[in-house]
Amino acid sequence: MRVPTAGDARTIFRLGLPAAVVLAGLCLASPAAASTPTDWPDTDPVSTLRALLIFGGIPLALGALIALLTLAPQIARGSPKGDSRTWWGEPVWFGGPAELAESSVSGRKALSGDADVASRSTGSTAVASAPKPSSAGSTAIIAMSPDLAPGTSTAKVGGAGARW
């Protein structure tokens, strides 16, 4: 008679363990296959409208409530878009000449007084139509420099812009 070896024990264990797991799962889940008890009272079927209200309306209402609570502080403060009063800081240059800071404060001086500098330096007017900020709350615009499309002369300024 052949004596079982350690390899045989491992084989039995490998086959028996999955089978035991499957059997245990079936035994534990057997109550789910039971039919409805006969002593339970019969209730009226739920109408479609009522089901929609319960399973659709309540989640939607909860979502709207959470969104309202999230956005309430911002709504109470008002939209800061375009409101210059929300920015109190002085203009700051990092790595730029100090005299440019004042000319850029108003923007008008930079546009009129430095326009000739721009044309001399870049060989063009170097003034492009800026993309208008979107009227939507946080809709973003990414715009490449309109005066440096691929294939145009490289003796112009380039860059990109964004709104947030």
By CB under 8 A, what part of segment 12-71 binds another protein?
Answer: none
Q: Tell me which of 111, 135, 136, 151 binds another protein, using CB under 8 A.
A: 111
Residue type present at position 33:
A
Q: Site for another protein (CB under 8 A): how many residues?
A: 58
What minimum distance in Å lies between the beta carbon of 59 and another protein?
28
- Sketch the per residue contact string, 143 through 162, with another protein: x for CB under 8 A, - otherwise: -xx--x-----xxxxxxxxx
Stretch that binds another protein, among 10-18, 32-40, 58-66, 103-111 (CB under 8 A): 103-111
Q: Name residues whose C-beta falls within 8 Å of residue 65's C-beta, 6 or more positions apart in sequence.
A: none
- Residue by residue, DSSP assigns 111-123 as HHHTHHHHHHHHS
CA 8 to CA 5: how far, in whole Å?
5
Q: Which is nearer to another protein, 11 or 139 (CB)?
A: 139
3-state SS track over 40-62? CCCCCCCCHHHHHHHHHHHHHHH
What residues from 74 to 93 belong to the interface with another protein (CB under 8 A)? 81-84, 86-87, 89-93
Q: CA 156 to CA 122: how far, in whole Å?
A: 6
Instruction: Give the nearest distance from C-beta 122 to another protein in angstroms.
Output: 6
Question: Residue 126: which of 105, 146, 144 has the closest Cα?
Answer: 146
Which 3 state secondary structure label does DSSP give 142? strand
CA–CA distance, 85 with 5 (Å, rounded to integer): 85
- Tell which one of 48, 129, 136, 151 touches another protein (CB under 8 A): 129
Query: Which residues contact another protein by CB under 8 A?
Result: 81-84, 86-87, 89-97, 100-101, 103-108, 110-111, 114-115, 117-123, 126-131, 133, 138, 140, 142, 144-145, 148, 154-164
